[in-house]
Every structure is written in structure tokens, then in C-alpha cells.
Amino acid sequence: MVLHISPYSSACLHFLDGLSWSLVFPCYWLLDRLLASCVATSLEKRQRSQDPCSFLTLCVLISAPLYLLLLLASLPFALLGFIFWAPLQAVRQPYLYKHLELCFPGQAGLGGVGIGEWRPQGRSFCFCSANVCLLPDSLARFNNLSDTHRRAREVGKRIRNGASRPQIKIYIDSPTNTSISATSFSSLATGFRRTSSVDHRPDQTHTNNGPADAETEPLTECPIHPSGATDCPVHPEEEAETGSHRPGEQAGGDTGSMTASRESLTRYHGGDGSIGISSNNTLSHVPRTSIFKRTGRKRRHGDETFDHEISAFFPANLDFLALQEVFDHGSTTRLRRQLHRYFPYVLSDVGRYGWKGCCSRFKFLNSGLMLASRYPILDARFECYPNGRGEDALAAKGALFAKVHVGTSHQEQRVVGYLTCTHLHAIEGDASVRCEQLDLLLQWGAEFRQSSSQPPEGQKVLEDLVAFDVILGDLNFDNCSSEDKLEQQHTLFTQYKDPCRLGPGEDKPWALGTLLDPSGLYDDEVSSPESLQKVMENEEGRKEYLVFPPSKNQCPASSQKGRKIPLKGNGRRLDYILYSDEGLQQDWKLEIEEFSFVTQLAGLTDHLSVAMRLAVSTGEEEP
């Protein structure tokens, strides 16, 4: 159970890696910029069409030949560096573990949580999965996205802004209205239900088992609210007025956050008389700015046992975050820097480059996986899928397994949870490849749980108590497409439960597709978290901006965009959070409290995020 806090086992190898990469990097960067200048996003095309002689067009015409000349000049140095760099990748660690102390004076409850005694009634945990499409800029443009480094910083800011806002309980005084008038249930507390924010909040003392990240920004303001904010719940200077609703607190965001800070965190006042929850968690009049008619979305459907929603915010008090497609190295550093201001424990740089073991083909990209946690990580392992094909084989896609410490029983037994973050083969029509990867996922997961539960040799320790076993990731198939029938019937879904699924080929009516149509990412109707949320709450909006499963009579080679194909279901749901109740202690039970489709990364990625809050009850009563 040794966590790797450095990419290499020795400082000498680390130095050689840095030296060789410094020779390769100029060529890599110039090639990326050259290709990026040849592939324009829809936003850039729109700007150029409006002004053919714009500064942007002139820059492309001048920079492309310059990049080509410099690229040719850097090739000899890159070749020399590559000769040293490629063999070093065989001994590179499969992941990098970072642990930072979070010290916010007077702000207990933000960031990581300590480990204390496990309460008899149990606890709830919040999980989130997001595909953030942080590819090198030239490759990201094929998904109609650009400026990867800026997006990485913004993704991190929006995630921690959403997760670190307070949960708020709103009481309705009206005797005839017992519901909560809210467009986003995630901006409210879950009633009187327990959450991780109130179940357990011991002191914020942590022990560093790795060097501090020298790139971490110093905390100079409240991590939720900008300097000078008058409605910060941590520094309440004036109380929000909410009519007959009480109490109403507001959550803001960093001034550096672009769309999220301006539109997600400002109060709207309209004159249409409609009541809703504004994006700063304050009840107010909300103007209907969407071109689609807005409909109310129920928080609970039929006989469903848990709440579900489409939310403009990441869930408050998020405990575990699994990310996919964090491929670009510079973006990884920037994203980790932002996440470390909320999550103390992060596994990043997951996967190896070059040739290694089962990965027979040369890997130009790592796995793209990242896992962030508020609870200490005890053990981790990465496994690379050996059967990638085509362009997918150029990345070391695989599965990241982690064991986290979430509490200690009164018998001094550790209470632990198991997390799996994965990203499956993406090429359409390769169902057999994905099924083989699912087989390996189950096999590796069982082996990891068995090996990590073994006590150190010569030591006698009490057996760990398992609280949860959760799989998060982009599985690259949905539960409605006829082409994905093989994956839909995989044994994965007998061992793990999908909260959005009724059975093979059939999702629950409220389940939402998570793959956005890339061509519409820059439309005004979906340019902010709130506007995208409104569109997703409307059936016509979903038809316009989601990618849908093709009909049976459609040619597979034709366009997959939602605007151009026969529609089926509520869109292609590629992002999953699955949980298993096997292996739990006797009388322990898992219950979903809420499930969310999150739009807070609008304009930054072509996927919606998914989140789930899971309650673990022990069947005991509070003494």
C-alpha cells in the first residue's frame, strides 16, 4: 500500500526525464499550435465570417508558416530528447499522489474532512463524474473546443465553487404550499436528511505524506466568494431578504471565473411574476431568457425512492470527484492546482507513456484519469486496457482503483470505501472491445479489493468495514442505442446498480443524455450553466442540443448530431455512476438520496457531469 508521490523512484531519473522532455517540448508545442491553426472552432469561424480581415485571421496567416519553420528547426533536438525520454517511461510510476493541507482560518468545514468515529446511524457521501475534454489544443478542436489551459483553470474553479457553497434549508411558511420552488434542487439542503456536511466534521488536521505542490496558489480570499462580497455565508454582513422563505443565504464565486462568476453567481430580478431560485441560491423573480418554454421538472418521479434533478451547480459538499480526458500535462497541473483548494487528496498523471507491459503500442497520451477526494486515500492502482484499437490505442486508457478511509468504528475498525474511475474504448461499432474491457474492470476490481484488504505481513489488524463500492466514468455506450445491446447486457449491471436504468435498452423517464452536440456549444442559449440547465429541462431544448441514439434504419456512417437524426430517448447517456451493495457488512444498507445532471461546465466541455449522493446506514440506533 505505497502511494507514489513522485513520478520516479530516484531523483536522478526525475532529472533525466525533465531534461529530455525540455528538448522534446518545443517541437511538441509547435506541432500542436500548427495543427490548431488549421482547425477552427465554430466560434472562430463565426468571428472570421463577420470580419474576414479580422486580427484573428491575420494572426493565423502569419503564425502558421512561422510555426512550420520553427518546427523543422526543433526536430533534431526533439529526436535527441526522445531517445532518452522514451525508455524512461518504462520505469515511470503509473500515477502521482498529491496531498496538501487545507488551512482556512475561521472556515472549518471547507476542504478536506478529518477521520473520526463512525456514527451508528451511518453517513452520506457525494460522488461526481465528469468528462472534461482536456486534450492538447489541436485535438480538442475536433470536439469544437479550444484554449485547453484556460479551460482547465476554469473547470477547476467552477467545480470548487459549486462544491464549496453551503447547503441551505428553505422553509415554506405558506400552509397551502409544501414544496420548494426551485429550479435546481442541488442549491438547497436535502431537507432534514443527513449529508456529509453535517454528519461528521472533526478538526481539519492533516498529515503530509508528500511534498507540497509548489504551484499551489496562496489563499487570499474566501474560496467561495470574491473579495468585497456582501452576501458571503462565511462573512455574513447583510441578510438576504426572501419574503416568507427563511433562511436564505447566498453563495458566490471567484472573480476569475468567467461565465460561472458572472451568470452563475448573480441575482436576477424579472417582471414576469414567476418565482424561482436564482443562481446564487436566493429566492427571487427569474426572467425567462431561454427561447424555449420552461417547464417545471419534478424532483421525484412516480414511485422513485430518491430525488433527481438537472442542476446548474455541482453538489454542495462534494466528497469524491472522478474526471476523464485530462490528457494535456499543462492542463493537469492547472486543474490540480484549483482542485487542491477544496480536495486535499488527488491522484493525477495516471497511466504511462511509451511502451510498457500490456500496452503493446506506443502511447502518446496517458489515461486522462484524475481522482480527487476529501478523505484520505489508503491505496491506489492503475491498470491499462490491452485491447485498444485505432486512434484510441494511442492513449493508455484503463481503470484507476482507490481505497479511501472514511471513518473508524467504535471497535477501532477502519471504515473504508472503494472507488473505480475508468474511460472505455470510444470507437463506435467496437462493442466486443468494450465488453472485454468491462470483463477486465470487474476482474481487476475484485483483485484490488482482495489485495488491499490483506494486512501487512507479520501484523494482526482488524478487518476493514466496507461502506461503499462505486464505479465512475465515461463508458462510451448508452442504454438506449440498438448498436450498444452487447454492452447493455453485460454482467457489470448485475453486480453494480445504475440509478438511471430500468433494464437493458430502457432508461428511467427522467434520465438524461450526457453527450452534447459539439456544434452548438457556443450558442447563446447554452452558453452559461443556467441557460443550459433551462434548455435541458425542456424537451425541445434536449432535441436541439443533445446527441441522440440513432434509429434502427439509420446508416451508421451518417451524422450523429441531435439535430439531424431520428430521436430516441432523452439523449446518449455515456457517463455513469454505478454502486454495489455486495460485500457490505451485515445489516448495512445503501440508499440513494439524490442524483443530478450538472450543467456548471457549460461551454467548457461537450459532456454533462453526473453526481450522486449515497447514504450508508448501519441499521443501528444512536445511543
Q: Please give the Cα distance from 93 to 95 (Å, whole number).
A: 6
The confidence band for 1, taking pLDDT boundaries of 50, 70 and 90, is low
| 64-73, 95-104, 612-621: least confidently modelled range | 95-104
Q: Return the beta strands (E) in 438-568 as ranges.
A: 465-474, 501-503, 506-507
Distance CA 100, CA 87 (A): 31
What tens digit of pLDDT does each residue of 240-272 get?
333 333 333 333 344 444 444 334 333 333 333
Which range, of 99-108, 217-226, 313-322, averages the lowest pLDDT? 217-226
- Cβ 568 vs Cβ 537: under 8 Å: no
d(CA 206, CA 114): 7
Residues β-bridged to residue 363: 354
- Sequence-distant (6+) residues with CB within 8 A of 323 are 129, 130, 131, 132, 335, 369, 370, 371, 372, 421
Q: What is the pLDDT of residues 524-579, one digit of tens each?
A: 999 999 999 999 999 889 999 999 986 543 444 344 444 444 555 689 999 999 99
Q: How far apart are CA 146 and CA 37, in angstroms?
A: 11
Distance of CA 247 to the CA centre of its chain: 30
Instruction: List the beta strands (DSSP E) in 67-188.
Output: 96-99, 123-134, 171-172
Run of H or E including 348: strand 345-348
Mean pLDDT of the chain: 78
Q: How do residues 496-528 score in pLDDT, each as one tens digit?
A: 999 999 999 999 999 999 999 999 999 999 999
Non-local (6+) Cβ contacts of 207 within 8 A are none
pLDDT at position 252 is 39
Angle subtended by helix axes 148-164 and 329-339, to nearest 10: 20
* Selected residue with higher pLDDT from 385 and 274: 385
pLDDT of residue 54: 65
Q: How many CA atoms lie within 13 A of 495 on its CB side?
A: 14
DSSP 75: H
Q: Is the CB of residue 613 less than 8 Å from the CB of residue 594?
A: yes
The tens digit of pLDDT for each residue in 582-595 reads 878 778 899 999 99
Catalytic residue among 4, 308, 425, 607: 607
311 bridge partner residues: 598
Enumerate residues 6+ apart whose C-beta is below 8 A from 262: none
pLDDT, position 302: 57
What are the residue ranges of helices labelled H in 39-118?
A: 42-50, 55-88
Q: Where are the domains of the chain?
A: 11-82, 95-165+302-552+563-618
pLDDT computed for residue 269 by the predictor:
34
357 φψ region: left (φ > 0), alpha (ψ -120 to 50), beta (else):
left
CA distance 158 to 602: 10
pLDDT score of 598 more than 50: yes
pLDDT tens-digit series, residues 161-213: 999 988 664 544 444 433 333 334 433 333 333 343 334 433 443 434 444 44
pLDDT for position 568: 58
Told to judge if 607 belongs to the known catalytic residues of this protein, a careful annotator would answer: yes
Q: Is the pLDDT of residue 314 over 90?
A: yes
For the residues 413-441, what does the mean pLDDT come to?
94
Q: Which architecture characterizes domain 95-165+302-552+563-618 according to CATH?
A: 4-Layer Sandwich (3.60)
Say how many C-beta atoms besides its own lie within 10 A of residue 18's C-beta.
12
Per-residue confidence (pLDDT) for residue 205, from 0 to 100? 39
Residues 126 and 611: beta-carbon distance below 8 Å: yes
121/115 Cα distance (integer angstroms): 16
Q: Can you give the pTM of this predicted structure?
A: 0.79
Residue 157's contacts (CB-CB under 8 Å, 6 or more residues apart) are: 253, 254, 256, 257, 260, 338
Q: Where residue 410 falls among pLDDT bands split at 50, 70, 90?
A: confident
CA atoms within 13 A of residue 346's CA, in its CB half-sphere:
27
